[in-house]
Structure 1
Amino acid sequence: MDDALSLDDDLADAVGRAWLDDRPWEFLTDLTAIGNRMGGSEGEARAAELVAEAFRDAGLRRVREQPFEVNEWRRGHTDLELVSPDDRTFEAVALPYCPAGAVRGELVDVGYGTPAEIDEVDVEGRVAVASTTTPSGGRFVHRMEKYGYAADAGAVGFVFVNHVPGQLPPTGSLTFGEEASIPAVGVSKETGAWLSEYAEADGEVELTVVAETVPGESRNVLGQVGPDTDETVLVLAHYDAHDVAEGALDNGCGIATMLVAARVLAATDLDLGVRFAAVGCEETGLLGSEHLAAGTDFDSVKAVVNLDGAGRFRDLVAMSHASAATAGVARRLSEATRHPIEVREEPHPFSDQWPFVRAGVPALQLHSDSGERGRGWGHTAADTRDKVDDRNVREHGVLAALLVRELAVESVEVPALDEYDLEAAFREAEFEPGMKAAGLWPEGWD
């Protein structure tokens, strides 16, 4: 880590300027002012243009947009009506890739919605009600796993209940880019309390969703710094967001953090080239990173650094996705800078590093910890710019730059992931049932 911290004059100047730079906040202001940045939408296209302009301003070269076709999901209206034992309606939002249509069934409370809890009750022909959070003491179980497992068990509908108070129905994609099998909606914690009570009384609901999935187009925004080398370090962050909010925390902060890191790295000499990719359609199934990965020679990528979640909160978290080498780089950076970085080695498939990790590319995801379990304001209408402290963005951007710089040192060894070790890590973390239900378990691991 001595190489990363031996700052030449140009790099030292860039790091110093980063502490006082107003441009990350200005960028975040312009990005969140767009409004809807849902994958494939007009707002996402406007956001891509904004990112490309910011890349050029940061000193990246070969800045370009990379379009790709997607299944664009468009929201209509949603009705959730209790038909028995009372007659009343509740606010609900459809989850992306929810199919259009109407279903009717008895409510069944499946608690946190873990596979074990769903196995304990009869969900056949019923509407499953599950929390957005997960019990402490184990890994966090993703929404796609809960939904997929309930659907496979015969549920005709799925209700996702926010665990954060404030009348905030949550959203979040049901699949990776394809229309889902059964209707699913998000409701507030307050509504969920009513539905759980009605479930005990064999309450019945009718759920109606108007939505459509149509051919659309998204785009990645690409650029690079450093020399033209056969081997490179790839830095990712998604710029799209759900249509219910401004997407300031998820992932406006991550994109702004990327811009800080890019500006710092553009000011220094690097052994290896560093490629930057602001990817689209992460929220609707990692579609941008999948498209990027499909055109990438994995042997040419030394490591991937994903900034989904960086800059949101004070405490930086480095997820090493079963790579001892990238975990070691994060720990050395923490020690050298005297900045606490929590390293989590457990992998997961729910962000843009996954298409690369799946292929054996070592990765780090720089996230940040609010101290709460779950998304907090994320994926709700409360994900707005006023929640952001841009000091975190600037600080995490500098730390990300130093980390990427260390990975770009030619003598720093970062071995490719062993397929069998990676599979074992996912099995040890008990991902297999949920990932299979979500359609994410790699075929070669069966």
Structure 2
Amino acid sequence: MKPPSLDRIQEYIWRICSFEQRVPGSENERLTAEYLRELLESFGYEDIREQSFSIYGWNPTECVVKVIEPVQKTIEAAVFPYSNSTSIKSELVRLNHADDQSVEKTEGKIGLVPWGPHLYLSPMRSYFLAHRQGLAALLVAAPDEGDLRKVVVVEVGGEMQLPLISISREDAEELQKIGEDSEVILEIATSVERDESATSQNLEVVIEGTDDSAHQVIVGAHYDAFFKGAADNAASAAIVLELARLAKEYVDDGGTFNRTVRFLFFGAEECGSTSYYYWINGSRSYVERHSDIIENTVAMLSLDSVGFDAPNYIASTLDLMDFARSLKVSMINKPKIVHYGPPAYGSDHWFFELSGVPTIYGVSFPSPHYHT
């Protein structure tokens, strides 16, 4: 096979990112799937298999945060997944982690809190504390400087009881400074569309193997995303696209693969359910519907959140650990790579792994670009 084209990969990323806020079940997720289909057709694939599946659809359509007093200012903001629609006008207060009994001081007000030290858990802890203190809404400052918003899914087993809203670190610092001299009054309006019968879709193309073995290999990545989602996960989807293009070109030129190779593009990875496993819905649906394929799969490679300057982790089940460690990096400036195993939950490899499929999970982490 020929080497991958970085120019093509960048082109795929830019195009996928043009479908901003392609959250599961949304029109932009559907348009992204159409773009992937068109690309795969242009590569020469004729049998492009689409699998639709039911999800819980949550799509934010509006999030406005305005400072009303003592100045007038509109703050760029974004709601965390599963926040509800609301309209609030109230005083801004700092959320006090040291005093979770201060209900009388915070009831009905709008809280402000830094992101916290833990990427996943800190906003969740702040949400539950805000709920106990009776806040009407909570603003969470993004952890890094720059015009950046970020979200994670708070595991509440359904919709949140109060809106959780991300703002930039700089705007949070400005609000704090204003609040040192006077009372700050904010007005918040959020609007979200919910659809309990929404759908998402997986796309699949196959290169048939030539030997008598039923063994198969799966390469996959999800294409849905919060915000533009360049790193998470347009870059990974673009890599799988380029591999699919090169594989098709290789066989069209007379090359062969001993084993069947399946290239999968998963929908609804970021969210799409109100159950404990609110994420990785597309890959779970695929595993549940294709037990015959799963039984014959000897390796599954899943990519998520790649393409930026961060430690690169390759997590492998024990049966693939030696193979993963044997892989060589063909780059002048070789990135830092950390091997560990087995892969934990977190992306589309998980339900394959639970079904006994040997897996390799590639991810770069941590990064300010996660969920942006």
Q: TM-score, normalised by structure 1?
A: 0.64
The separation in 2 between residues aligned to 1:200 and 1:364, in whole angstroms, is: 54
**1:122 and 2:109 matched:** no
Partner of 1:184: 164
Deviations 1:281-340 (A, max 9, x none): 223332222322321324333332112223x1367723316x233333221103799955
The separation in 2 between residues aligned to 1:124 and 1:292, in whole angstroms, is: 47
Deviations 1:256-287 (A, max 9, x none): 11122223444354343222211112233322
CA distance change for structure 1 residues 133 and 358 in 2, over 3 Å: closer, same or farther?
farther
Could you tell me which amino acid in structure 1 is paired with residue 241 of structure 2?
A: L
Partner of 1:437: none
- Match of 2:48, SS state, is strand
1:210 to 184, 191, 198: 191
The separation in 1 between residues aligned to 2:355 and 2:126, in whole angstroms, is: 26
User: Mapping of 1:336-375 within 5 angstroms?
Assistant: 340=335, 341-345=337-341, 347-368=343-364, 373-375=366-368
Partner of 1:37: 22
Deviations 1:386-434 (A, max 9, x none): xxxxxxxxxxxxxxxxxxxxxxxxxxxxxxxxxxxxxxxxxxxxxxxxx
Q: Calculate percent identity across the aligned residue pairs.
A: 23
Could you tell me which amino acid in structure 1 is paired with residue 117 of structure 2?
A: T
Could you tell me which amino acid in structure 2 is paired with residue 275 of structure 1?
A: R
Report the alpha carbon displacement of residue 221 of structure 1 after superposing the two structures with TM: 0.6
- Match of 1:62, SS state, is coil
Q: If each structure's helix is expressed as a fraction of its own residues, which one has the higher value?
A: 1
The separation in 2 between residues aligned to 1:199 and 1:207, in whole angstroms, is: 21
Q: 280-289 or 174-183, which moves further after superposition?
A: 174-183
1:287 to 275, 281, 284: 281
Partner of 1:260: 242
Could you tell me which amino acid in structure 2 is paired with residue 363 of structure 1?
A: T
Q: If each structure's strand is expressed as a fraction of its own residues, which one has the higher value?
A: 2
The separation in 2 between residues aligned to 1:78 and 1:336, in whole angstroms, is: 44
Could you tell me which amino acid in structure 2 is paired with residue 252 of structure 1?
A: A
Asked if the contact 1:254–1:308 (Cα under 8 Å) also holds between the matched residues in 2, the reply is yes
The separation in 2 between residues aligned to 1:319 and 1:102, in whole angstroms, is: 44
Q: What's the RMSD between the two structures over aligned residues?
A: 3.9
The separation in 2 between residues aligned to 1:293 and 1:143, in whole angstroms, is: 32
User: Mapping of 1:125-274 within 5 angstroms?
Assistant: 125=103, 129-132=112-115, 134=117, 140-141=119-120, 145-146=124-125, 150=129, 156=135, 157-174=137-154, 178-194=158-174, 207-214=188-195, 215-227=197-209, 230-242=214-226, 244-245=227-228, 247-266=229-248, 267=250, 269-274=256-261
Deviations 1:115-153 (A, max 9, x none): xxx6x5417755664544636xxxx53577546654776
**1:313 and 2:308 matched:** yes
The separation in 1 between residues aligned to 2:20 and 2:300, in whole angstroms, is: 29
- Match of 1:350, SS state, is coil
Partner of 1:278: 265
User: Mapping of 1:344-423 within 5 angstroms?
Assistant: 344-345=340-341, 347-368=343-364, 373-376=366-369, 378-380=370-372
The separation in 2 between residues aligned to 1:82 and 1:257, in whole angstroms, is: 43
Report the alpha carbon displacement of residue 342 of structure 1 after superposing the two structures with TM: 2.6
The separation in 2 between residues aligned to 1:26 and 1:224, in whole angstroms, is: 23
- Match of 2:117, SS state, is coil
- Match of 1:241, SS state, is coil
Could you tell me which amino acid in structure 2 is paired with residue 237 of structure 1?
A: A
Aligned length: 344
CA distance change for structure 1 residues 335 and 31 in 2, over 3 Å: closer, same or farther?
closer
Report the alpha carbon displacement of residue 37 of structure 1 after superposing the two structures with TM: 2.6
The separation in 1 between residues aligned to 2:10 and 2:59, in whole angstroms, is: 30
Asked if the contact 1:108–1:128 (Cα under 8 Å) also holds between the matched residues in 2, the reply is yes
- Match of 1:164, SS state, is coil
Report the alpha carbon displacement of residue 45 of structure 1 after superposing the two structures with TM: 1.7
The separation in 1 between residues aligned to 2:32 and 2:156, in whole angstroms, is: 22
CA distance change for structure 1 residues 352 and 166 in 2, over 3 Å: closer, same or farther?
same
The separation in 2 between residues aligned to 1:177 and 1:346, in whole angstroms, is: 27
2:81 to 79, 82, 96: 96
Could you tell me which amino acid in structure 1 is paired with residue 346 of structure 2?
A: F
The separation in 1 between residues aligned to 2:40 and 2:233, in whole angstroms, is: 16
CA distance change for structure 1 residues 286 and 189 in 2, over 3 Å: closer, same or farther?
same
